[in-house]
Amino acid sequence: MKNNIPIELKPKVITEYVIRAVVSMAFKGFHRKSIATEFHISTGSVEQIISSEDGLVEKRKQFKYQSKRRRHKVTILRAIIGNPGHKAGNQKPLL
């Protein structure tokens, strides 16, 4: 009881359905926070579910790597297209 206000919060039980749905969304590449918001659970619970699933952590690391790779590739291509007269060996100052 804080400031004379009774609090009656019960911990949420994570059902098998929620676990399967969290794993499914994690495999699709959704962010931990958006998964947690969707099912009204904490991000820590989502991380525990992801960690307990075989191969899911490695898969998500691969998703993150591929996302960064695509983002940097677009940055480089935009710099090259935006400066057509620039020499190929001197790309660093463009970025």
Q: pLDDT digit string (tens) for 6-36?
A: 666 666 788 999 999 999 999 998 999 999 9
- List own/partner pairs for 49-53 with CB under 8 A and 24 or more apart: 49/14, 49/19, 49/22, 49/23, 50/22, 50/23, 50/26, 53/23, 53/26
pLDDT in tens, 42-92: 999 999 999 998 898 899 899 899 999 999 999 988 988 888 777 666 666
